[in-house]
């Protein structure tokens, strides 16, 4: 599996460990340390095959390089995946994260970890018992807690900028936003949008979660498949990756796509499919950088909340830079964002 996956990835190193007591494959993917330690969360998931886990880690680590460079942070990109046979609890979970902490510590700071899917600040506290390269521990343990609320603020800022670009003004009053996934990021995003007068259509595989929030915010709900056909101005993917595809893009009714999910495009050609339909796509790694901005600003750069918030507002400015380049060169926004990242990573850049 290494022969076909690693050369195409183009990253620096992958460290693999099989943790026998938990039967877990651990993959730490350090994509780039050009701008600083490779930083990105730890995803824990049950995968059909360990190959799928490695592939996920590789793609996500490369997106972190882009995200961190685009956010102007002194961080490279990385991601770790814990491919578990089932999601562990209690002592078994604790033992797994201690063992994982030893692995991250053995990398001497080339990789800095944090939370991601199915991992929490409490898990990072356990990792932190064994290693110092960890962001997002609980406040009780000296960390800055969950990054999700800051991610939601960043997505909100990006979404508003994309609305201004598509419609000529950033007023959200009367605009309709369809949110796919109302979890740790989608829910606070929905609240901010509702506060600014937007109408919402919500969906979640957890039907009760979507319905309860919809009731509270006076919003509509849609089925998880129907959301692609929902009449709306903005589609905000805040659940899983790969949701923008040859199958779903023709169905979208929105003029804007802006959301939190990592790796939203199923394949690179989907950026052109969106552009051909006249849909303004806010590249995922540009608008979902609020989480890492929160962690790096407060825990690494020694900044206060006001400085962090200034950086979160900067997401809108970065997005405008992307839109401007895309228009100037006649390329998709995704390709424009990649070009800016490439420039920032180029050797010899002042
Ligand atoms: P979460 O797990 O708290 O929420 C995801 C929600 O989506 C859950 O409510 C889940 O039931 C729902 N969901 C899953 N599959 C779905 C589907 N097919 N259709 C509809 N709903 C579905 O995760 P979180 O933290 O809110 O993250 C959301 C996305 O944003 C993920 O892709 C994550 O990688 C990305 N992200 C999160 C950041 C953070 O700070 N938490 C930072 C940057 C990106
Ligand atoms: N895992 C989140 C993301 O994908 C947040 C995060 C990023 C945390 C980078 C730490 C470092 O952006």
For 275, phi and psi rounded to 5 degrees?
A: -60, -40
Categorize the per-residue pLDDT at 130 as very low, low, confident or very high, splitting at 50, 70 and 90.
very high
- To the nearest whole percent, how much of the chain has pLDDT over 70? 99
d(CA 338, CA 49): 30
- Mean pLDDT in the chain? 96
Quote the tokens at residue 332.
Answer: 């998709």
**Residue 4's pLDDT is what?**
83
For 68, phi and psi rounded to 5 degrees?
A: -70, -35
pLDDT per residue as tens digits for the range 193-226: 999 999 999 999 999 999 999 999 999 999 999 9
Contact 232, 200 (CB under 8 A): no
Average pLDDT on 120-129 reads 97
pLDDT per residue as tens digits for the range 149-179: 999 999 999 999 999 999 999 999 989 999 9
By most ligand atoms within 8 Å of CB, the mutation choice from 28, 36, 76, 114 for ligand 2 is 114
**Residue 233's pLDDT is what?**
98
**Residue 347's pLDDT is what?**
67
| Number of other residues whose CB lies within 10 A of the CB of residue 166 | 19
Q: Is the CB of 185 under 6 A from ligand 1?
A: yes
pLDDT per residue as tens digits for the range 106-121: 999 999 999 999 999 9
| Number of other residues whose CB lies within 10 A of the CB of residue 181 | 27
Average pLDDT on 323-340 reads 97
pLDDT per residue as tens digits for the range 83-101: 999 999 999 999 999 999 9
pLDDT per residue as tens digits for the range 55-83: 999 999 999 999 999 999 999 999 999 99
Torsional class of 268: left (φ above 0), alpha (ψ -120 to 50), beta (otherwise): alpha
Q: Is the CB of 80 under 6 A from ligand 2?
A: no
By most ligand atoms within 8 Å of CB, the mutation choice from 157, 222, 238 for ligand 1 is 238
Burial of 237 (0-12, 13-18, 19+ CB in 10 A): buried
Q: Is the CB of 100 under 6 A from ligand 2?
A: no
**Residue 5's pLDDT is what?**
86
Burial of 91 (0-12, 13-18, 19+ CB in 10 A): exposed
CA dist list (Å): 27 to 30, 80, 277, 346 = 10, 6, 38, 27
In the sheet with 234-237, reading across from the earlier edge strand, the strands are 220-221, 199-203, 176-180, 234-237, 256-257, 280-281
Contact 203, 223 (CB under 8 A): yes
pLDDT per residue as tens digits for the range 252-281: 999 999 999 999 999 999 999 999 999 999
Contact 149, 121 (CB under 8 A): no
Cα 151 to middle of ligand 2, angstroms: 9
79 is catalytic: yes
Categorize the per-residue pLDDT at 2 as very low, low, confident or very high, splitting at 50, 70 and 90.
confident
- Measure CA of the first residue to CA of the last residue in the chain; give whole Å: 38
**Residue 349's pLDDT is what?**
58
Quote the tokens at residue 50.
Answer: 């360990």
- Give strand pairing partners of 16: 27
pLDDT reading at 350 higher than 80: no
Atom of ligand 1 nearest to the CA of 289: 43
pLDDT reading at 3 higher than 90: no
- Per residue, the 3-state secondary structure of the chain, as one string, reads CHHHHHHHHCCCEEEEEEECCCCEEEEEEEEECCCCCEECCEEEECCCCHHHHHHHHHHHHHHHHHHHHHCCCCCEEEEEEEECCCCCCHHHHHHHHHHHHHHHHCCCCCEEECECCCCCHHHHHHHHHHCCCECCCCHHHCCCCCCHHHHHHHHHHHHHHHHHHHHCCCCCCCCEEEEECCCCCHHHHHHHHHHCCCEEEEECCCHHHHHHHHHHHCCEECCCCHHHHCCCCEEEECCCCCCECCCCHHHCCCCEECCCCCCCECCCCHHHHHHHCCCEECCHHHHCCHHHHHHHHHHHCCCCHHHHHHHHHHHHHHHHHHHHHHHHHCCCHHHHHHHHHHHHHCCCCC
Q: Is the CB of 153 under 6 A from ligand 1?
A: no
**Residue 348's pLDDT is what?**
58
| Statement: the pTM of the whole predicted model exceeds 0.85 | yes
């Amino acid at each position: 599996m290494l022969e076909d996956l690693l050369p195409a990835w183009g990253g620096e190193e992958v460290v693999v460990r099989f943790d026998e007591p938990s039967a877990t494959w651990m993959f730490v993917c350090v994509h780039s340390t050009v701008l600083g330690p490779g930083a990105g969360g730890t995803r824990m998931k049950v995968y059909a095959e360990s190959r799928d886990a490695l592939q996920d880690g590789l793609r996500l680590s490369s997106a972190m390089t882009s995200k961190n460079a685009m956010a102007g942070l002194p961080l490279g990109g990385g991601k770790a995946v814990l491919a578990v046979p089932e999601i562990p609890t209690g002592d078994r979970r604790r033992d797994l994260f201690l063992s994982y902490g030893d692995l991250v510590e053995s990398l001497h700071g080339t990789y800095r970890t944090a939370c991601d899917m199915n991992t929490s600040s409490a898990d990072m506290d356990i990792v932190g018992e064994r290693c110092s390269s960890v962001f997002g521990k609980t406040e009780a343990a000296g960390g800055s807690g969950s990054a999700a609320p800051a991610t939601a603020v960043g997505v909100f800022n990006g979404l508003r900028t994309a609305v201004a670009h598509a419609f000529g003004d950033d007023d959200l009053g009367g605009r309709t936003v369809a949110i796919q996934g109302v979890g740790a990021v989608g829910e606070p995003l929905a609240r901010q949008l509702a506060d600014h007068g937007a109408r919402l259509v919500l969906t979640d595989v957890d039907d009760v979660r979507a319905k309860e929030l919809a009731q509270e915010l006076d919003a509509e709900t849609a089925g998880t498949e129907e959301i692609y056909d929902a009449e709306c101005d903005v589609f905000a993917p805040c659940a899983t990756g790969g949701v923008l595809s040859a199958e779903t893009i023709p169905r979208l009714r929105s003029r804007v796509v802006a959301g939190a999910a990592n790796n939203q495009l199923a394949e690179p050609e989907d950026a052109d499919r969106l552009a051909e339909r006249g849909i303004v796509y806010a590249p995922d790694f540009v608008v979902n950088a609020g989480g890492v901005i929160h962690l790096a600003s407060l825990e690494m750069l020694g900044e206060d909340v006001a400085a962090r918030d200034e950086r979160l507002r900067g997401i809108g400015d970065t997005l405008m830079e992307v839109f401007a380049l895309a228009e100037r060169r006649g390329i998709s926004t995704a390709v424009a964002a990649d070009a800016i990242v490439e420039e920032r990573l180029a050797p010899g850049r002042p």
